[in-house]
Each structure stands twice: as structure tokens, then as C-alpha cells.
Amino acid sequence: MRKEVGNLTKAVITSLFIIGSTITVNAGQWNQDNTGWWYQSDNGSYYNNGWQWINGKCYYFGQDGYCFINTTTPDGYKVDAGGAWVSGGAAQNKNATETANQIQLSKDAVYNLTSLANIAYESKNDPYHSEVFDVNLKAGNLSSEEKAFILYWYQYNYAYVDGRLSDVESGSSLNYESYNTLRPEDLRDIMKEVLGSCNDDDVKTFEKNYVEKKSNGLYYMNNTGDFGDAGAYYLSGENVLYNLENGVLVLTGNVVQYQSNRNEYLPVKTYTAYFAPNSNSHISGYQFKQLIIQ
């Protein structure tokens, strides 16, 4: 445990929590050394790489496990001298925050939205997911190539719920073909619903890169691709925090990367994804707005 978490002295930090080196709360305890505070669970593990609710308040823990104190977190939120997330000058209580936000997402909705954020992130990187990098990605700044890639992912994953996409199969067992079909005007509508905008260059790029053929006023797109490989890293849908900010849905979670020496995915960065409501969107009623990873 080496990272410094603030400029407050040890004595001041101690007085903010309680006199003594640990506080038992729920199924774990706060611990302190000369560097700062961390939270250890009963199984010996400790929180790191992101936000955690503890006794009704939300705390941000760095990669080394130390709680951020009296500063701004990597994803842009304020925490007070006790480490708790603050908004409008007051520490946020979990129950009060959830009531004020009046939102409850299902697991499927969290999965769908993190999948959209994942594919937006992937559009900026190589297809093999070989590295994790910082990004501040806004929907309005996506290139036509990136938007086309995201829409290709959409037609592959949402044809079963979006009636504008139809599956067409043809050929013999020796020459089998399977396509999703879509009208050009529907492509424009879907891109606006998912990403907020669509122009002629976006359409031309999609046609060039992903349309196998055009017939009877329809685009034919190969629907046998594979977006199922998690790769070396991905934006995790587990332990995601979410809330509404001025009508925008904000999801905060961890970017995890495969660690071959431990044969598991471990958190390495934090992401914050923003989504604007769009009642026409088949992705849980939201469209992509922004993604910050750092």
C-alpha cells in the first residue's frame, strides 16, 4: 500500500473516521497506515479500482486500494475529507440518492449499455483488444468509420428485437449465405437513435465497409460475424454504479484486463459512460453520449 491519498495529516484523517486504526462496518473494516485508509473485507481482499458503497456512502479506491480523500476522482467526482462522494456540498447517501434519481436499471439494461460503451471503446482500438488506454470519447466526435463499426455491431446483436432488421438465408449446404437486411432510411434512423446523428458520409462508409450487396432497395449485411470474444480487456458490467445527472444516465465501473499469471480478469482502469434518453432506442431506451476511461 503506497499511494498517497491527500494532504490531510494522519491526525485529521483519524478524527474524521474514528479514534483508532480501524472501524468495523458491515462485513469488513477500515484500515489505516502512514499513507492513508483502505477497506478490507472479511476474506482478506480489499476494494480497489473504483467506487464502493459502504454504510450508505460512496467511496473511491485507487488501483493500490487507498481511498481518495478531499480531492477529485479520476472520473471527475468530488470526495470530501472523509472520502465520501459529495454533490452540491453534501455527502451523498445511497438511499437518498436512489430516491432522488428515481431510476432502477435491470441487469439486462446494465449489460446492454455497458456493451454499447464497450463497442464504442473498441471502435477506437485494434480488433484484438491488445491494450487498455485512456480516452474521452464523445458521440459527436466519432468518425464515420467508428459509427459504421458500431452500427455493424448493432445489426448483428439487435436484429432479434428491432423489426427493421430481417434475417435472410439462401444457398445450399455447400454455399450457404445468411444476411440481415435493412432499408437505407432505417439505417439513418437507427444511427441517430444509437449515436445521436447520421450524415451522408456515415451512410457511405457503412455501405462501403459492411454492406455485402444491395437489392430491391435493401442493404444485405453478413450476420455471421463474431462480437463474442471478450479479448484481453473489456468494460465490466459487474458492480456498476449508476445515477441520473441532469437527465443523463451515468454508469461507472471497472475496465478489467486478463492477467495470464493469475488466469483471471482484474480491474486496471475506471470508466464512466454517459447515455441520453431516447425512447426509440432498442438499447434499453438510451443512446450513447460519452465515454471516459482513465
Domain CATH code at residue 93: 2.10.270.10
Residue in the block written with cell 443523463: 248
Q: Output the DSSP codes for 142-176.
A: --HHHHHHHHHHHHHHHTTT-TT-EEEEES-TTS-
pLDDT of residue 205: 96
Please, are residues 238 and 253 in contact by the beta-carbon 8 Å criterion? yes
- 24 assigned to some structural domain: yes
Looking at the structure, tell me whether residues 289 and 180 fall in a common domain.
yes
Which residue among 52, 67, 100 closes a domain?
Answer: 100
Q: What is the distance between the alpha carbons of residues 259 and 266, in angstroms, rounded to a whole number?
A: 7
pLDDT by residue, tens only, the chain of 294 residues: 433 333 333 333 333 333 233 333 346 789 999 999 999 887 778 888 888 888 878 899 998 999 999 998 888 888 888 898 887 656 666 655 554 455 678 889 999 999 999 999 988 865 555 677 888 999 999 999 999 999 999 998 888 889 999 888 765 445 557 888 999 999 999 999 999 999 999 999 999 999 988 988 999 988 776 665 666 788 988 889 888 887 889 999 998 888 878 888 888 889 999 999 988 899 999 999 999 998
Domain boundary among 75, 100, 125: 100
pLDDT in tens, 9-28: 333 333 333 323 333 334 67
Specify whether 109 is located in the same domain as 89: no
Closest CA to 135 of 125, 144, 145, 127: 125
| Count of the separate structural domains present in the chain | 2
Pair (31, 169) in one structural domain: no
Strands 248-259 and 233-235: antiparallel
Q: Under a CB-based contact definition with an 8 Å cutoff, are residues 166 and 180 in contact? A: yes
Residues 191 and 58 in one domain: no
End position of a domain, from candidates 70, 100, 130:
100
Both 155 and 18 in one domain: the answer is no
Report yes or no: 59 and 39 within 8 Å, Cβ to Cβ: yes
Do the domain assignments include residue 253?
yes
- Supply 156's cell numbers: 448483428
Range of the domain at 282: 103-294
* The pLDDT value given to residue 19: 29
Residues 244 and 163 placed together within one structural domain of the fold = yes
Q: Using one digit for the tens of pLDDT, what is the confidence trace for 190-230?
A: 999 999 999 999 999 999 999 988 988 999 988 776 665 66
Identify whether 285 is part of a domain.
yes
Give the torsion through C-alpha atoms of 119, 124, 126, 131, to 10 deg.
-90
Residue type (1 letter), 46: Y
Residues in the chain: 294
For residue 244, tell me if it sits in a domain.
yes
Q: Same domain for 63 and 172?
A: no
51 within some domain: yes
- What's this model's pTM, rounded to 2 decimal places? 0.64
| 202/60 same-domain check | no
